[in-house]
Structure 1
Amino acid sequence: MLYISRWKTLFIWLVVALGVLVALPNAFTDEELETFPSWFPTQKITLGLDLQGGSHIMLKLERQDIVKERLETIVGDVRSQLRDAGIRYTGLSGVGQQIQVRITDADKIPAAIEALRSLTDPVSVGGLTGGTVNEVAVEQAEDGLLRLSLTDEGIDYRVSSALTQSMEVVRRRVDELGTTEPLIQRQGDDRIIVQVPGLTDPQRLKALLNQTAKLSFHMVDTSMPATEAINNRPPAQSEVLYSTDDPVVPYLIERRALISGENLVDAQASFDQRTNEPVVSFRFDSRGAQRFAQATQENVGRPFAIVLDQQVISAPVIREPILGGSGQISGNFSVEGANDLAVLLRAGALPATLTVVEERTVGPGLGQDSINAGVTASIIGGVAVIFFMIAFYGTFGIMANIALAANIAMILAALSLIGSTLTLPGIAGIVLTMGMAVDSNVLIYERIREEARNGRPLIQAIDVGFKKAFATIVDANLTTLIAAVVLFFLGSGPVRGFAVTLSIGIVTTVFTAFTLTFWLMAFWYRWKRPKHMPKSVRTGFFDNRNIRFMAARKFNFGLAMVISVASLVGFATVGMNLGIDFKGGSIIEVQARDGAADLSDIRERLSQLNLGEVQAQGFGDDTSALIRLQAQDGGENAEQSALTKVRGELEAEYDFRRVEVVGPSVSSDLTYSATIGVAAALFGILIYIWFRFEWQFALGAIIATLHDVVFTIGLFVVTGIEFNLTSIAAILTIIGYSLNDTVVVYDRMRENLRRYKKMPLEVLIDESINQTLSRTVLTAGSTILALGALYLFGGEVIASFTFAMLAGVLIGTFSSIYIAGPILIAFKLRPENFQRDETEGEKVPAKAGA
């Protein structure tokens, strides 16, 4: 009893020591770590963009660009292959995903189909699994009409290939900027996430990523003036393009490209030796050099155009043949503009347009403020929890605090080892874990105290207390873990960081509670040899309260139902103050460079930009302001255009500390994933509780949890607090916390049902709630202390998140008593269904038919 082998002791302290050692580098700067011995770990937690500053940009590959390009390619292939086969045709055209052509001679239709067979043959998709895909399907209609359709699976294949190619191009462009440790990853079927820590100029990054950078060289058509071609129809083989000048200059350009940017092998920014203006020097490969030499030899004296993404950069006259395979592009560039063009040309062209559909940019100053706020909140919350535990448990509280310190060190070590990114919500997860980790120790201590009060010797009370608390702690923490796992798979960005931190915290909490705390308790007992519970344990005032909770169940249950209905009515009529995550739009946090932020001036200036509804409000101190722009009409690019207008209007007087832009496609996806996330979490928890308890318990837990969700939604409706992506994290965490509380109470009810088969259910429920009252109050108190510190000192960015969490702790405690309990009575849970298993000395549910 209370015996721990040397190997187990060694293992426990080795894990704790390794956790501290691996977490320790986070307390030092990179320069300090370089002076440490080579064996000392150097891996640190990666700070998220909201803590160190930088840009998060989500790019969407325009599927329609792929479809359009494939359509034009197939039309060209049909034309050339029918001509090569000597088959006459008419009416060749392509619209949407369909091309049609009419064969003039009906007898030639089989030959035409055979000539087009190469277009309809399956294409190998490559990869490990191999396989083929049909990109084009051909169908014969009446009067010699052939219809060729681009298949959806073929387009999906082309989109997937284009996305892979685009990622490589994006990676090369970002690397050329010289940024440190950029993250570029694929998301879904048509999106790329680009995260660049520490970036101070997100506008330049977006400009580089937005450009397709398709470079080509064309002859200028001199058969008619460009203005005449604009007013009348230009020649069939030519088109009108415009220059990048201001005002723009039109050019009549031959459609056929002399040479394309695919033949470029290098491009560098330099200065023209004659004018000292910034230019871009380029060099072709051997094939490109040959074609360029031939084209310039044949067209001496004629102007040719250098075209980038359908805009004319310059149109010089060919004075003499260019035979060396190199040249330079001039076009009134700035030094930075020449550098950026060189970056684009070296990185290569994108196969399709990439549209910015989400942007989240944090300035380095705000990132440091967030770190300071998070650290301050963590320290204050930690100190509050430490004193709270010592005040109520004395010696036992010191043990709990040692376990809590080891717990936090192990969380930091795990985050360092897996290379996880710590975000501001992640810090919130650590602070929340501090509050909830106390719950395991409180459960153990209260079990020990109860067993000792029932007459067991202290050594036996400690042993039995740990064993009886184990199942309850596992059940309670697993329900929270289910919510965290769902949050990770269905969440994104900072919400995922919160889920990772919370999940790791749950695992380390269970580990420290049943290894380190048990070892400390055993060591203390062998050292002191006490006969009774320490007098420093001051939770006895909860004993023998015998509060009749169920006597007021009808009133409280009815009141809860009225509030729930009112919350749903308010949600359906008034609605919540949805953030940009769910309705699209922009949030911009600015700070005045001199003096206070003038909110009325900001509103007046931005209202003249034709951006729809514009809100400006104070944020934090009087130098800062938060600007909200409604979702813009005109698709994804309209959001970026609106942001550009705001920057142009305000950046002379204000620093842009934080920018969040969410386009309509992302906001709809987030709304869908948030709804699915809450539903999936509830379903997973329902299955688990149904498996572990009777069906009435599972139903009661879900109804109590739904009550908490509805109440929280009502709170957002009444207060008008912005409901954003972190609010979903708050709701899912409230679900986990509420179920944690409910499961603890249910576990005691189940134990008493096995013990007291003749006791009326109302009395048994009251007895169970009273027996766990000390744990309920102390856990809620410690969690409120931790969250309160986060709310008061954690900064404005997560204020709504922590406010919802604080309300959730209170309502979760209420529902575990006044919702979960009455449900069991309403569905007639019968104590006689439980009987004692005499062979095991334990009370277990009776089997059906027994």
Structure 2
Amino acid sequence: MLHFPRWKTALIWLVVLVAIVLAFPNVLSKKEVAALPSWVPHTQMTLGLDLQGGSYILLQVDRQDVIKDRTTAVVEDVRRILRDKNIGYTGLGGKNGDIHVAIRDDSKVDAAKQALQDVTNPTNAGMFSSGGSVREVAMSQPQPDTLHLSLTSDGIDYRVRNAVTQSLEVVRRRIDALGTTEPVIQRQGSNRILVQVPGLGNPQRLKNLLNQTAKLTFRMVDTSMPVQQAMQGTPPAGTSVLPSQDDPNQHYLVEKRVLVSGEDLTDAQPGFDQRSNEPIVTFRFDTQGAQSFGRATQQNVGKPFAIVLDNKVISAPVIREPILGGSGQISGNFTPQSANDLAILLRAGALPATLNVVQERTVGPGLGADSIAAGETAAVIGAIAVVAFMLIAYGFLGVLANVALLANLIMIIALLSVLGATLTLPGIAGIVLTMGMAVDSNVLIYERIREERRNGRSLIQAVDTGFSRALATILDANITTLIAAVILFYLGSGPIRGFAVTLAIGIVTSVFTAYTLTRWLVSQWIRRRRPKEMPKARISGLADGAKIPFMGFRRITFAISIVLALATFTGLVTVNMNYGIDFTGGTLVEVQAKDGSAEIGDIRSRLSGLDVGSVQVQRFGSPEEALIRVQAETGSDAAQQRVINEIRGEFSSDYTIRRVESVGPTVSDELATAGTIAVGVALLAILVYIWFRFEWQFALGAIIATIHDVVLTIGMFIITGIEFDLSSIAAVLTIVGYSLNDTVVVYDRVRENLRRYKKMPLTDLLNFSINETLSRTVLTALTTLIALLALFIFGGEVIRSFTFAMIFGVVVGTYSSIFIAAPVLISFKLRGLSEKPGEKFDGESRVEKAPAKGSV
């Protein structure tokens, strides 16, 4: 095990060297990276929105809008077909996907049904349907002279999916026109589009661009009746009353007939009127549009026509002379930016359906910079503390462990860069946590070496055996955490997935560096120094020879845990948890006073006049900062956006909006369900793995201990009132992984001792096994707590509750691996072993023999 051929040595250091080269660009600025030679890697880690600022917006196609448009289209198709076939009809109309038409002549009902077969024939859906075709409209005959056509559910789903596909390109063109860098625009599910725009300074402008369908039409204004009379009575047939975009109190009576639509536009650009110097938008039609517009203006000289955008009149100029050149201009109450935005909308084209914002997360660039600084500070302090602790604990071997830890961090950064993974604030937490947990593999190895040395082996034998026997334990312990990380990645979203990626990468690299790089370093130390004993250390030997009767306390610890679990369930029924907006819906706004401190009373007073519903205001971090939380608005997701707009408008002059999180009722229900499923699936997957690797008794014991930890963690959230959100789910799953890591180490030793000591009573064997692993348990908990405390103190307010939950989980996980996971095995009948109180342990029953002397 300690002999390394030259090719293995070369391969190990080649991996480390490649990692250094790949990670190197991350210490340079973007300008310095651009100046590097072409053969040098240029890829840097992608920073998440919470670190560099920007907007995350989840858009959902409005299903009702699709149904409305499709209903109107079917009505028009029915009207056209019946007119072409000279079939008289009456009462043609449609609403919410149901269309009715009465045929005047009973003898022509069959002919009408035959003619309308074109409407009900299946549509070739192509890639949008696995069957290749979809029947969009079903026809029935509820009365002898009446035909009923209804939109099918499959047909509506097809149109929604089609709308998402068309909208993706329109959204991409609109965002590209803003000049932003590296936006992420991708389909999510069957009816949603995810948009991430890093570094965006004005998220409201982005939402305005994405919220508008931008359906542009040119129509004539009906002057046959005063608009006020039309509003009070019934407008003339073929007309409708539309409001002005600039003044909601001003209305126009506009014909429904469209002269030219935005689909005929080839270009639109912002500009300035040469006479008035006011911002305008110039446009140009294609050949067909130019001809249609020219004919319309020739026939209506002296009459007003309306330029309509999304059923609002932008302007209604009078046609002074025919416009034959195929171009014109749109004037209105524009600012340079609004004129530019309108030009962007027209160039990008109209959306096929309305896109509603169902989830939003916006981080200002100032908060992003603060988060980076806080994360770097926490990482540096945590690293220094862990390094110092390892030096004190293991002396020279601690130096070797720290070299492996440094290589581990470099590999994590290199892999994050190569994979294009996004580093988020929880991701930094994952790195800091990895620093604490990465040491665990080294602790397992070193403690095993020391134990083998105490059992009489030579140093070389102890080192060789320590590495070989620790490998299985290291793999079992880390795979359980890896399972939790993988499930968190697939079932999580946003920054939580970043945490899962970082944690998973950290687990893989820590196993590699601890077992491969550390083993090489130790082998070189033995080769060159020929030591006779382990290096002196001050902490690692504190639990040597411990004979604590842990099983004697099991009734007390069981009673305490049961009481705490019952208290948690009682709290869930009576008090419940302080659920965050991820699970309840609502809006969270972090503000920072531009001058002086944030006045909580003044903020509450100003919010009360906005009519935004139930509001909570609290201080957050420094005296200049405050957190506004608005309860979910009843009704549509659009109500949430109204709340954000109201708060921005009220406070933007006195406060900097540092962060906005908004979760609509649709998404909050889904997140709550996904979080519950994530915890359940993680527990099931880990149960299967432990059952496969051990025995069913160990699997059940591990799950009981893990459920114990989850329940107590939930109780902590109830008692402290800490907000429970998506990051809390991540914390719970990480606690599950850490707790099982600890439990598996104890179980691995129990399993080993079951084979070694055939006659030892189970109670004594469990005590013996726990005492043997006690040094490792304590040292791992301390190193992890050191890293987490650095993150808790210096990592910033945003992830403080997340880190506190992790700290609590480490303490509870360590407790449960000793006082819950091991004692419950007594309740199960382990194979070939029963507890006999009168039986004494016979030292001769140890079946293992010391191997022959090893060599390097």
TM category, shorter = over 0.9
Task: Provide the C-alpha distance between the structure 2 equivalents of 1:833 and 1:145, rounded to a whole number of angstroms.
Answer: 82
Over residues 375-408 of structure 1, what are the superposed CA-to-partner deviations in whole Å (9 max), with x where a residue is unaligned? 0000000011001111010111111111110001
CA distance in 1, matches of 2:446, 2:683: 30
The amino acid that maps onto 2:84 is D
Of stretches 219-228 and 451-460 in structure 1, the one that deviates more from structure 2 is 451-460
Q: Is the 8 A contact 1:761 1:831 kept in 2?
A: no
- Could you tell me which residue of structure 1 aligns to residue 136 of structure 2? 135
Note the alpha carbon deviations across 1:399-440, whole angstroms, 9 max, x for none.
111111000100000000011110000000000000000110
TM-score (structure 2 length as normaliser): 0.96
Matched, 1:284 2:280: no
Equivalence map 1:324-335=2 (5 Å): 324-335=325-336
Q: Which residue in the other structure is 1:847 paired with? A: none
Counterpart CA distance in 2 for 1:659 and 1:832 is 59
Matches of 1:67 and 1:821 in 2, distance apart?
60
What letter matches 2:603 in structure 1?
I
**Equivalent residue, structure 1, for 2:86:** 86
Q: Which runs of 5+ in 1 are unaligned?
A: 835-840, 844-850
Code of the aligned partner of 1:498: F
Q: After superposition, what is the alpha-carbon deviation per residue over 1:682-734, rounded to whole angstroms, capped at 9, x for unaligned?
A: 11111111111111111111111111111011101000111111111000000
Corresponding position of 2:852: none
- How far 1:537 sits from its partner (Å)? 6.8
In 1: Cα distance, 2:248 partner to 2:255 partner: 22
Structure 1, residues 511-530: CA drift from partner, whole Å, max 9, x if none? 11121011111111101111
Instruction: Give the Å deviation of 1:621.
Output: 1.4
How big is the shift at 1:460? 1.5
Q: 1:247 to 1:104 in 2, by over 3 A?
A: closer
Partner SS, residue 180 of structure 1: coil
Partner of 1:165: 166
3-state SS, counterpart of residue 332 of structure 2: coil
Alignment of 1:132-281 (within 5 A): 132-246=133-247, 248-281=249-282
- Quick one: which amino acid aligns to residue 34 of structure 1? A
Q: How far apart, in 1, do the equivalents of 2:20 and 2:138 lie?
A: 63
Report the identity percentage: 64
How far did residue 543 of structure 1 move? 1.4
Q: Is the 8 A contact 2:761 2:834 kept in 1?
A: no
Alignment of 1:820-835 (within 5 A): 820-832=821-833
Choose 620-629 or 722-731, whichever is displaced more: 620-629
Out of 134-143 and 598-607, give the one that drifted further: 134-143
**Are 1:530 and 2:531 matched, yes or no?**
yes
**Which whole-Å CA distance do the structure 2 matches of 1:67 and 1:612 have between them?**
31
Pairwise CA distance, 1:136: 1.4
Paired residue type of 1:58: L
Aligned residue in 1 for 2:49: 49
Distance 1:80 1:833, change over 3 A: farther
Distance between the aligned counterparts of 2:682 and 2:92, measured in 1?
54
- Structure 1 residue identity aligned to 2:8: K
CA distance in 2, matches of 1:536, 1:800: 35
Partner of 1:391: 392
Q: Report what 2:17 is aligned to.
A: 17
Q: Is the 8 A contact 2:36 2:42 kept in 1?
A: no
How far 1:146 moved relative to its partner? 2.3
Retained in 1: the 8 A contact 2:60–2:358?
yes
Indicate if the aligned counterparts of 1:106 and 1:144 stay in contact, CA closer than 8 A: yes
Cα distance in 1 for residues equivalent to 2:124 and 2:670: 32
AA aligned opposite 2:152: T
Query: In 2, distance between residues paired with 1:753 and 1:721?
Result: 43
Amino acid in structure 2 at the alignment position of 1:575: N
Q: Distance in 1 between matches of 2:571 and 2:231?
A: 57
Question: Is the CA contact 2:585–2:665 (under 8 Å) kept in the aligned structure 1?
Answer: yes
More moved, 753-762 vs 264-273: 753-762
Tell me the secondary structure at the aligned position of residue 205 of structure 2: helix
Q: Secondary structure at the match of 1:597?
A: coil
Contact 1:431 1:787 in 2 (8 A): yes
Q: Secondary structure at the match of 1:772?
A: helix
For residue 844 of structure 2, what is the aligned residue in structure 1? Answer: none
Counterpart mapping for 1:725-764 below 5 A: 725-764=726-765
**Residue in structure 2 matched with residue 837 of structure 1 by the alignment:** none
Summarize deviations over 1:319-376 as a string: whole Å, max 9, x none: 1111000000011211111111111101111111111111111111111110000000
Give distance in 1, aligned partners of 2:48 and 2:482.
23
- Counterpart-to-counterpart distance in 2, 1:482 and 1:685: 7
1:506 corresponds to 2:504: no
Once residues 138 and 34 of structure 1 are traced to their aligned partners in structure 2, the CA distance between those partners, rounded to angstroms, is 63
Quote the Cα distance in structure 2 between the aligned partners of 1:285 and 1:662: 42
Question: Partner residue of 1:109?
Answer: 109
Q: Give the structure 1 partner of residue 842 of structure 2.
A: none
Name which of structure 1's ranges 189-198 and 726-735 shifts more when overlaid on structure 2. 189-198
Is 1:336 aligned to residue 337 of structure 2?
Answer: yes
**Counterpart code for 1:450:** E
Task: Tell me if the contact between 1:761 and 1:830 (Cα under 8 Å) persists in the aligned partners.
Answer: no
Verify the 8 A CA contact 1:297 1:320 in the aligned structure 2: yes
Q: Which amino acid aligns with 1:348?
A: G
Residue in 2 aligned with 1:64? 64
- State the SS of the aligned residue for 1:313: strand
Confirm or deny: 8 A CA contact 1:754 1:831 kept in the other structure.
Answer: no
**Equivalent residue letter for 2:605:** E
Tell me how large the CA RMSD over aligned residues is: 1.5
The one-letter code matched in structure 2 to 1:669 is: E
Conserved? CA contact 2:540–2:779, under 8 Å: no
Give the whole-Å Cα distance in 2 for the aligned partners of 1:172 and 1:538: 62
Deviations 1:173-203 (A, max 9, x none): 1111111111111111111111111111111
- Whether the 8 Å CA contact 1:753–1:831 is kept in 2: the answer is no
1:578 is aligned to 579
CA contact (8 A) 2:756 2:848 kept: no
CA deviation string 1:453-473 (max 9, x = no partner): 111121121111111111111
- Separation in 2, partners of 1:817, 1:247: 69
CA distance in structure 1 between the aligned counterparts of 2:539 and 2:799, rounded to whole angstroms: 35
The count of aligned residue pairs is 837
Aligned position for 2:841: none
Matches of 2:89 and 2:825 in 1, distance apart?
Answer: 79
1: CA distance, partners of 2:436 / 2:778: 12
For structure 2, the residue ranges without an aligned partner over 5 or more in a row are 836-846, 850-856
Q: Does 1:415 align with 2:431?
A: no
Give the residue type in structure 2 aligned to 1:181. Answer: E
| Residue identity matched to 2:278 | E
The Cα offsets for residues 62-92 of structure 1, whole Å up to 9 and x where unpaired, read as: 0111111111111111121122122233332
What is the CA–CA distance in structure 2 between the aligned matches of 1:758 and 1:798, rounded to whole Å? 50
- 1:92-129: CA deviation from partner (whole Å, max 9, x where unpaired): 23232222223333443332222112212221122397
Q: Does 1:646 align with 2:647?
A: yes
Asked if structure 2 preserves the Cα contact closer than 8 Å seen for 1:124 and 1:130, the reply is: no
**d(CA) in 1 for partners of 2:218 and 2:541?**
87
8 A contact 2:443–2:776 mirrored in 1: yes
- Amino acid in the other structure paired with 1:319: R
Q: Which amino acid aligns with 1:485?
A: V
TM-score, normalised via structure 1 length: 0.97
Distance 1:527 1:232 in 2: 101
Partner amino acid for 1:183? Answer: V
Spell out the pairing of 1:662-811 with structure 2 (5 A cutoff): 662-811=663-812
Shift of 1:830: 4.2
Question: Could you give the per-residue CA deviations for residues 777-832 of structure 1, whole angstroms, max 9, x where no partner exists?
Answer: 00000000000000000000000000000000000011111111221111232443
**Match for 2:270: what amino acid?**
A
How far apart are the structure 2 equivalents of 1:258 and 1:452? 92
CA distance in 2, matches of 1:9, 1:119: 73
Q: Match for residue 98 of structure 1?
A: 98
* Structure-1 residue corresponding to 2:494: 493
- Which residue identity is paired with 2:160? V
Which residue is equivalent to 1:591? 592
Deviation at 1:757, TM superposition (A): 2.2
Q: Secondary structure at the match of 1:541?
A: coil
Q: Secondary structure at the match of 2:579?
A: coil
Conserved in 2, the CA contact under 8 Å of 1:594 and 1:653? yes
